[in-house]
Structure 1
Amino acid sequence: MSLRKLPIFLLFISVYFLSFSQEKPNLIFILADDLGYGDLGCFGQEKIVTPRLDQMAAEGMKFTQFYAGSTVCAPSRCVLMTGQDTGHCRIRGNGPEEAQTLQPEDITVAELLKGQGYNTALIGKWGLGELGSTGHPNKKGFDYFYGYLNQRHAHNYYPPFLVRDSTVVPLTNRPDPRWDSMRIERGWEKNGAGFAEPDGRLAYSHDLFVEESLKWVREQSESENPFFLYLPLTIPHANNEGTRGTGNGQEVPDYGIYETESWPEPNKGQAAMITRMDRDIGSLLDLLSELNLDKETLVFFTSDNGHHKEGGNDPEFFDANGPLRGMKRDLTEGGIRVPTIAFWPGKIEAGSVTDHIAGFTDWMATTCDLSGATLPEGTQSISFLPTLLGNPDEQKEHEFLYWEFYERGSKQAVRFGDWKAIRKPMFDGKLELYNLSEDLGEENNLADSNPEKVAQAIQYLEEGHVPNPLWKIKK
């Protein structure tokens, strides 16, 4: 090669590698429903079998201090989508429709990614806006939607219908006629909640979501655009209405490898749902490998809150919260610290474990870093991309993480460094203080002996809450 041509060659190589380094990865966010911190083998579970998620952790990164946006469904999902914590976001609890609907000014992760050329899909449970509302997925950045729009509908694993974009899609499942009066009284006929009769359980919604997801990802392999798949699964949430009607809300087509266990039926169902979810996530990972998309795709798995005690399930039998205290609807660690795995071959070091303190708010900033989008003002979002890529020295940290919750008398919580404070009721209740580095189970309240930390916690609790007329403490 002549010296005259060398600069041109070097320029070509530089441009090539620059463009390669700036390619936008595909993004898949998988959200389990009510999965506890200790429900996976890679997080200490001994009874429930989860080989594919364990493998995902062994080949990816495990987060040991990752936090859900809230301790129940809707607000946690709102935090994830908007990058705002429950002291700032619109949807701060499970409530009436007017308080459960995203508005045009609530910018979502999907809207930001769509603006960067991503194809976007939501398959599963939404919970942030009904048909015809401003919060419908198609109005919040998703090109394609298939699933449940509201949470009570999502309780029913054999529903009479699902929704595709704005079209109601009838299914072959038949509601149990023995409970007609209950369905009419509770309004289940309208929103699709309830439960199917034993012989009318023909189409299991989770299986439909998996089938639809695999189909959609395969279609994306033929597109020149990157894609974002938000896959909020309903497993292993209980069918609360089914529990009232039959005593067993752990709806699953079969108990699989747990069929012969001498466990109560709801426990078999709980384990079978988690293992079924594990199998299906494995199928999605296998498809990415088959399509040669695995090295171009960040797959992120977590849960919307801690484990539940519904549907007849006994979480103590499975030690579902592991070393943590509390569960869904608590702001102790068992209600908000969730099992989390990131997988990106060639980018994330296999078998890595991080104790970086992060949470649902941070998904938005991370996707902005990955896609080139601009992070909106007013979020509490910090990108954890440096952690994913093995650059902890470049990782910014939160001054504090904040939660508020309006059920069961209301409560607030804040995590700052090793310290965690909980105040209940909100604003004027007694404050509990724990040092999580020494007391992960939050058993020793240190408030009386640490007045400076108490004062700091109160400052953060006051700073974290921005009043919203839709959310007031019930007297």
Structure 2
Amino acid sequence: MIHRTLLLVPLLFCFLSSTYAADTKQPNIIYIMLDDAGYNDFGAMGSKHVQTPVFDRMAAEGMRFTDHYSGSAVCAPTRCVLMTGLHTGHCRRRDNQAKANRDKTDENGLVFLKDEDVTVAEVMQKAGYVTGGIGKWGLGNPGHEGTPDKQGFDHFLGYLDQVHAHSYYTDWLWNDGERMETGKRYSHYFFEEDTLRFIRENQSKPFFLYLPYTLPHGKYEIPAEDPAYQIYQDKQWPQEVKNYAAMITRADMTVGKILDLLKELDIDDDTIVFYTSDNGPNTPFVKHLQSNAPFSGIKRSLKEGGIRAAMTVRWPGVVPAGETSDFVWDMRDLFPTACDLAGIDAPSHLDGISVLPTLKGQSQAERPHLYWEFPVRSQQAVRMGKWKGYREGTEAPLQLFDLTSDPAEKNNVAGNHPQIVKQIETIMAQSHVPSEFWPLDSGNKKGKMRR
């Protein structure tokens, strides 16, 4: 774990030297992340069932990424990766709840960000950005060091606790450290209104706006009077599936209002917008909507369907319109990319890289590899070029897949490529820093591979 006691002076002050020309305007940064929407739940990514006209518009007006990944396979560690720029072999939160030593956790098996953790919001704040977060936090409950106001956010409205976020008709939400009574109104409506308010009030300043919307996660519920609800009622699906699809469309409608407001305020050309989801889908939506197509694996799996995430990025005049990129990157890369956009040096301890050259349509060297780990079944995964290495247990035989010809990871070719297997096993060993809360098992029980 990187500690702020070691990094504060050399990083939080020294790395703020500008790398841009003095007259270069810092762009606004909006990062929109849905909750549990699958790779194939967006029209531009291939969905034939879910309507996402705004995502599709952003893909037409910006860049669509086919090989972008989540930070993890579930909510909390993905958010930790996104905020800290550290992959799940290094970051503090590696699952929703601790696997071991729960008596040492911050609260009921939860592990929150600490004061020494450095977040992208803190760095953007010091770079002169107004920072806002609206939606689900999941990295610190009230009274702990991990709350948004202690991690660099000037404003936060939403759920702090991930379980609280399961209900869309809650009695209250957190608003800048205070309980805000909601009258059990559908929570996403508050998020949409607050998003538009934040943009209006900060239109004359550079802002960093993080929008981890809760749709379509949790209870699959949406008001029957909502326009998105009506779209799917004639479908021959279970009501839960209809609601799920409607919730994605409802979030997409909100993104449309964001883009319209940017244009109305004449800050469209000054704003880069990222639009993605936090991890793979759940089982019912694979069956009816093919939400993880063309991959295998769902939420809680490090197979492609659990971590490959839809992504489109739009910035008029900068991000080339209508392009599709297979550049491999994930959510650890937001932090250094945001620093690059702000014209500051990124902290040196980050696991991510700036993908700004790719976003601008410029050539960029292929990264050596990406690494993930997830305590459920002690999973480890590496993406290295066209290769994907996967195993369940640190001593279990590695499965190797050629994603170019086998995106569904059906054909294990480890026996044909022993050098690649050895290289990936070395990466896994070097990337994993043990955590007292999330130890990884060997995967071997009396000589048998974990199933």
TM-score scaled by structure 1? Answer: 0.84
Question: Are residue 399 (structure 1) and residue 368 (structure 2) matched?
Answer: yes
Where 1:402 maps in the other structure, the secondary structure is: strand
Shift of 1:372: 2.3
Partner of 1:242: none
Give a deviation string over 1:165-198, Cα, whole Å, max 9, x none.
211112212xxxxxxxxxxxxxxxxxxxxxxxxx
Partner of 1:445: 412
Could you tell me which amino acid in structure 1 is paired with residue 223 of structure 2? P
Question: Are residue 130 (structure 1) and residue 141 (structure 2) matched?
Answer: yes
* 1:454-473 equivalences in 2 (<5 Å): 454-473=421-440
Aligned residues of 1:162 and 1:171 also touching (Cα < 8 A): yes
Could you tell me which amino acid in structure 1 is paired with residue 221 of structure 2? E
* Structure 1: runs of 5+ lacking an equivalent: 1-16, 174-202, 240-249
Aligned residues of 1:34 and 1:305 also touching (Cα < 8 A): yes
Aligned residues of 1:69 and 1:76 also touching (Cα < 8 A): yes
Where 1:430 maps in the other structure, the secondary structure is: coil
Give a deviation string over 1:397-445, Cα, whole Å, max 9, x none.
32111111112x22111111111111102x1122110011111111100
Partner of 2:101: none
The answer to which of 81-90 and 94-103 deviates more is 94-103
Shift of 1:18: 4.6
Could you tell me which amino acid in structure 2 is paired with residue 251 of structure 1? E
Partner of 1:337: 308
Partner of 1:253: 223
* Alpha-carbon separation, structure 1, partners of 2:94 and 2:320: 36
Aligned residues of 1:113 and 1:373 also touching (Cα < 8 A): no
Question: Are residue 166 (structure 1) and residue 166 (structure 2) matched?
Answer: no
Shift of 1:261: 2.5
Could you tell me which amino acid in structure 2 is paired with residue 143 of structure 1? D
Question: Are residue 236 (structure 1) and residue 207 (structure 2) matched?
Answer: no
Partner of 1:243: none
Rg larger in structure = 1
Where 1:27 maps in the other structure, the secondary structure is: strand
Could you tell me which amino acid in structure 2 is paired with residue 213 of structure 1? T
Question: Are residue 364 (structure 1) and residue 335 (structure 2) matched?
Answer: yes
Partner of 2:62: 60
Question: Are residue 317 (structure 1) and residue 288 (structure 2) matched?
Answer: yes
Question: Are residue 90 (structure 1) and residue 92 (structure 2) matched?
Answer: yes
Question: Are residue 103 (structure 1) and residue 114 (structure 2) matched?
Answer: yes
Question: Are residue 378 (structure 1) and residue 349 (structure 2) matched?
Answer: yes
* Alpha-carbon separation, structure 1, partners of 2:27 and 2:164: 33
Identity of aligned residues (%): 47
* Alpha-carbon separation, structure 2, partners of 1:326 and 1:470: 25
State how many pairs are aligned: 410
* Alpha-carbon separation, structure 2, partners of 1:130 and 1:94: 13
* Alpha-carbon separation, structure 2, partners of 1:374 and 1:44: 37
* Alpha-carbon separation, structure 1, partners of 2:365 and 2:439: 33
Partner of 1:205: 187
* Alpha-carbon separation, structure 2, partners of 1:391 and 1:413: 28
Aligned residues of 1:382 and 1:397 also touching (Cα < 8 A): no
Partner of 1:355: 326
Partner of 1:142: 153
Partner of 1:177: none
TM-score scaled by structure 2? Answer: 0.89
Q: 2:196 aligns with which of 214, 222, 243?
A: 214
Give a deviation string over 1:5-36, Cα, whole Å, max 9, x none.
xxxxxxxxxxxx9544x210000000010111
Give RMSD over aligned pairs.
1.4
Partner of 2:298: 327
Shift of 1:256: 1.7
Where 2:30 maps in the other structure, the secondary structure is: strand
* Alpha-carbon separation, structure 2, partners of 1:347 and 1:473: 43
* Alpha-carbon separation, structure 1, partners of 2:202 and 2:230: 32
* 1:295-314 equivalences in 2 (<5 Å): 295-309=269-283, 313-314=284-285
Where 2:163 maps in the other structure, the secondary structure is: helix
Give a deviation string over 1:208-234, Cα, whole Å, max 9, x none.
10111001101112x3x2001000000
Partner of 2:359: 388
Partner of 2:9: none
Could you tell me which amino acid in structure 1 is paired with residue 151 of structure 2? K
Partner of 2:257: 283
Aligned residues of 2:372 and 2:380 also touching (Cα < 8 A): yes
* Alpha-carbon separation, structure 2, partners of 1:299 and 1:100: 30
Where 1:120 maps in the other structure, the secondary structure is: strand
